[in-house]
Amino acid sequence: MNHGPGAWRRRLAWLVLLWAGGVAALAALAALLKLAMRAAGLA
């Protein structure tokens, strides 16, 4: 395991990247569901 001086920065960067990816994926899913509901006349 990398325990060098910049290891915590790399871990934090991965955490932020994964979090941002999850938020973006949920936003995309919500947008698709909204479009589908509008197409079906539900919203």
Low-confidence ranges of the chain (pLDDT < 70): 1-2
Helix (H, G, I), strand (E, B) or coil at 4: coil
For position 3, what pLDDT does the model report? Answer: 77
Q: Is residue 32 domain-resident?
A: yes
Q: Is residue 2 domain-resident?
A: no
Q: Is residue 3 domain-resident?
A: no
State the Cα–Cα distance between residues 26 and 22, nearest whole angstrom: 6
Domain encompassing residue 34? 11-43
CB 34 within 8 A of CB 43: yes
- Residue closest to 2 by CA, chosen among 21, 17, 42, 11: 11
Q: Is residue 27 domain-resident?
A: yes
Number of domains, the chain? 1
For position 6, what pLDDT does the model report? Answer: 84
